[in-house]
Amino acid sequence: IQPYIFVDNITKFGICSPALGEKWTASVVKSLEAVVGSCVVLPCSFNYPGKLLPTSRLRGIWHRIKKDEEIVYSEDNTKVLDSFKGRTNMLGKLGDKNCTLEITDVKDHDNGPFCFRIELVKTHDNKETTEKYSFVDECAELKMQRDPPEPELFQSNTAVQGKPYAVTCSVRHTCPSHVPVFTWSRGSKDDVIHIQKPVLSGIWETQSIMVFIPEEKDDHTQITCTAAFNGGKVKSRSIQLNVKRIGNIYHIMIPVAVAIGTAVIFGVICTAVMKKYNMFNRLSRMSRR
């Protein structure tokens, strides 16, 4: 599953093949955060010299560092530690040189470090050979988090009454195989689109974008976005919606127009009064003569 494989900020290490005298390498994310009770995906890839081998000739195993016998993942479930049985899954296809591991229902003791080992098997009886390679110079370590992060909310410019408006809710996580599920306090499923994208090595961002047309009644109301994570934990965040009403411009124009009209009428009346006053004065002077 190639989307889980990254090349940035990844520690690379290898071990020499006694049979081929060449170097095999593996790439893992050195450190990741994991939410207790949820899931986490450990990106991993490996390489080896020579021709590409099919998955049937490869066997992938994850184990604790310096403790090869403490296996956390194997195709043979009888070899897996009881505390990890049913909770680990190889997402990567070994034939594609992908050793990505998923851990579900994360426990406090799942901090690792965990190392990957590749084994060659014979095609006719599926028995392992002496060709085993454990990449133990650097391994994947988990930093436990009791709670998932709160979602972040972003508004697009200013909400205007009657015009489409978008609000984006996003959260970062380390389990792309079980992405967070978003719900909104308003709108319907038809108003929402979801985006999943990688941010950094092993870190993903899931976005929920709600597009709606605000009305006058939506002004100063709350919009809440809730993210439900794998395992049942939820986090919410709210923002206040401020809607610019189209009618606001008329509320300004009408009083101004009234004031201007009043001033004009008052000016006309004053002018008429002054004219009558001047005419009366002229008539008075003529009568005295």
Q: Give the rounded percent of residues in the chain with a pLDDT score beyond 70.
A: 75
Place of tokens 């090595």: 201
Task: Give pLDDT, residue 158.
Answer: 83
Q: Cα–Cα distance between 27 and 265 in angstroms, integer? A: 85
User: Which of the residue ranges 54-58, 100-104, 136-140, 162-166 has the most confident prediction, judged by mean pLDDT?
Assistant: 100-104
Which residues, in sequence order, are CB contacts of 99 under 8 Å at separation 6+? 26, 44, 45, 46, 60, 90, 92, 116, 118
The string of pLDDT tens digits covering residues 43-101 is 999 988 778 888 888 999 999 998 888 999 999 999 999 999 999 999 999 999 999 99
Tokens describing residue 36: 């207790």
- The confidence band for 250, taking pLDDT boundaries of 50, 70 and 90, is very low
Residue 263 has pLDDT above 70, yes or no: no
Residue 165: strand pairing partners: 212
Region label for 147, one of left (φ > 0), alpha (ψ between -120 and 50) or beta (otherwise): beta
| φ, ψ of residue 160 in degrees (nearest 5) | -120, 130
Task: Give pLDDT, residue 207.
Answer: 96
Q: Cα–Cα distance between 168 and 73 in angstroms, integer? A: 38
Task: Give pLDDT, residue 66.
Answer: 85
Task: Give pLDDT, residue 121.
Answer: 80
Place of tokens 């959260």: 171
**CA angle centred on 108, ends 105 and 109, rounded to 5°:** 100
Q: Cα–Cα distance between 34 and 254 in angstroms, integer? A: 60
Considering only residues 177 and 122, tell me which one the structure prediction assigns the higher pLDDT: 177
Delimiting residues of CATH 2.60.40.10 domain(s) in the chain: 25-145, 152-241
The candidate with the shortest Cα–Cα distance to 55, out of 27, 89, 102, 90, is: 90
190: which DSSP letter?
G
Class of the domain covering 152-241: mainly beta
Residue 211 has pLDDT above 50, yes or no: yes
Residue 251 has pLDDT above 80, yes or no: no
The string of pLDDT tens digits covering residues 173-195 is 999 999 999 999 988 888 899 99
Q: Is 260 helix (H, G, I), strand (E, B) or coil?
A: helix
- The confidence band for 138, taking pLDDT boundaries of 50, 70 and 90, is confident
Task: Give pLDDT, residue 46.
Answer: 93
- The confidence band for 247, taking pLDDT boundaries of 50, 70 and 90, is low
The identity of residue 227, as a single letter, is A
Provide the CATH number for the domain formed by 25-145 in this structure: 2.60.40.10
**259 alpha-carbon distance from chain centroid:** 54
Residue 275 has pLDDT above 50, yes or no: yes
Q: State the chain's mean pLDDT as an integer.
A: 81
- The confidence band for 10, taking pLDDT boundaries of 50, 70 and 90, is very low
Task: Give pLDDT, residue 127.
Answer: 64
Task: Give pLDDT, residue 20.
Answer: 43
- The confidence band for 131, taking pLDDT boundaries of 50, 70 and 90, is confident
Residue 237 has pLDDT above 50, yes or no: yes
Residue 5 has pLDDT above 50, yes or no: no
Cβ neighbours around 224 below 10 Å, total: 15
